[in-house]
Amino acid sequence: MHILVTGGAGYIGSHTCILLIEAGYDVIVFDNFSNASKESIKRVEKIVGEEITLIEGDIRNRDDLHNVFNMYKIDAVIHFAGLKAVGESVEKPLKYYDNNIHGTIVLCEVMAEHHCKSIVFSSSATVYGDPHTTPIKENFPLSATNPYGRSKLFIEEMLRDLYISDNAWKVVLLRYFNPVGAHTSGTIGEDPYGIPNNLMPFIAQTAVGTREYLSVFGDDYDTHDGTGVRDYLHVMDLADGHVKALDKINNFNEVITINLGTGTGYSVLDMVKAFEKASGKQVPYKIAPRRAGDIAKCFADATYAKEILGWEATRSIDEMCQDSWRWQSNNPNGYKKED
Ligand code: NAD
Ligand code: UFG
């Protein structure tokens, strides 16, 4: 079975490619490298011991996509391609709507023209906005507080409408909580450009000495130690969720929406301690003001994923930190430079 993986050279995509290939799927990676390097796929090839078809192209470019669908009989698409920086989306909303929403429209149109109507979409826990309670279930009210979140919410709605218009579509919406960690080889991992926005890469870069200290955004939240609580999830568990979604996609006769999280929340300071234990390094930090738009607590009720996909996260916070540290310490400058 041929699977087109849009955004397959990125952080989650590259890890997912490994498990797809190990599961026997034929993978075609399609990426415009706006936030990834070709090196990630070279390293995935080393891990799996085979060449991967890699096509440089943009999901907004109809010709790029037609070429791929003409070359291969694609059976399903895993759609990771998208921009994901919340702050940038506030500054450049049209860039996000164009890339994420317009890109998905073109992708779905080309898919339909080639009679490929199965899609697994990367959504996000951000679609729950500020949840009224935790753990968060799939049927909680949805809202968005920034253009990035709104692009996810809108794409979810768009894919639901597409299914209503044509029941031949198979749509799985995966709402990720906070993916962290790396493949155990330590050769691939998260490689953000510039100063990381997310906690885990910032902690890892502080431990390795690239950053002086971590700013902890607020210690006066209503949580066990006052710092923000999130559902951190190992990227290989998340990757496994995609393979399971794909394995089952033909059994579904409605749009399926699934939380992918562990069901456990850890605070910023819990993560700092776990990372110090895993790395043997100090992670200096200072308490800073709250970050605009942040919420106190966000963690999943992940029971539906177990029920419908037979999926649950298996890797601990210690494994997340150990694997993240192996990647960061082996590649202090990420993919780009001399490691
Ligand atoms: P990433 O930036 O590492 O990967 C996205 C990939 O898509 C990159 O390789 C980028 O070059 C590519 N891309 C972007 N726009 C494209 C376009 N127009 N055409 C072709 N390729 C394009 O991000 P990631 O962390 O791997 O996230 C993957 C998906 O999961 C994204 O849609 C993201 O919004 C979603 N998501 C991520 C998180 C997270 O915390 N990492 C959480 C929830 C949801
Ligand atoms: N944090 C710090 N210091 C930092 C970075 C983060 O204290 O330098 C704190 C945040 O305040 C928050 C926690 O660490 O309490 C996690 O922050 P992240 O930025 O790592 O993650 P978020 O939960 O804010 O957001 C992430 C993605 C979003 C996605 C959301 C839900 O960035 O795109 O998870 O999936 F929508």
pLDDT digits (tens, 9 = 90+) for 72-128: 999 999 999 999 999 999 999 999 999 999 999 999 999 999 999 999 999 999 999
Q: 284-331 pLDDT, tens per residue?
A: 999 999 999 899 999 999 999 999 999 999 999 999 999 999 999 999
The token pair that represents 325 in the structure block: 């540290």
As a whole number, the mean pLDDT across the chain is 97
d(CA 135, CA 124): 15
How far is the centre of ligand 1, averaged over its atoms, from the C-alpha of 95 (Å)? Answer: 14
DSSP string, 256-322: EEEEES-S--EEHHHHHHHHHHHHS----EEEEPPPTT--SEE-B--HHHHHHH-------HHHHHH
Mark whether 163 is an active-site residue: no
Average pLDDT for residues 129-144, to the nearest whole number?
97
Residue nearest to atom 6 of ligand 2 (CA): 199
User: Of the listed 11, 128, 148, 163, which one is catalytic?
Assistant: 148
Ligand 2 interacting residues, C-beta cut-off 6 A: 84, 86, 124-126, 176-178, 197-199, 202, 214-217, 228, 230, 268, 291, 294, 298
d(CA 330, CA 328): 6
Residue nearest to atom 9 of ligand 1 (CA): 10
Q: 173-222 pLDDT, tens per residue?
A: 999 999 999 999 999 999 998 899 999 999 999 999 999 999 999 999 99
As a whole-number percent, the residues of the chain with pLDDT over 70 amount to 99
Query: Could you tell me the pLDDT band of residue 336, with boundaries at 50, 70 and 90?
Result: confident
Q: DSSP class of residue 137? A: P
Q: Can you tell me which residue has the tokens 């999926």?
A: 311
Domains and CATH numbers, the chain: 2-180+231-261+300-313 (3.40.50.720)
Q: Can you tell me which residue has the tokens 């029971």?
A: 303
| pLDDT value, residue 337 | 54
Q: Which ligand sits closest to the CA of 81?
A: 1
d(CA 274, CA 203): 11
Residue nearest to atom 18 of ligand 2 (CA): 198
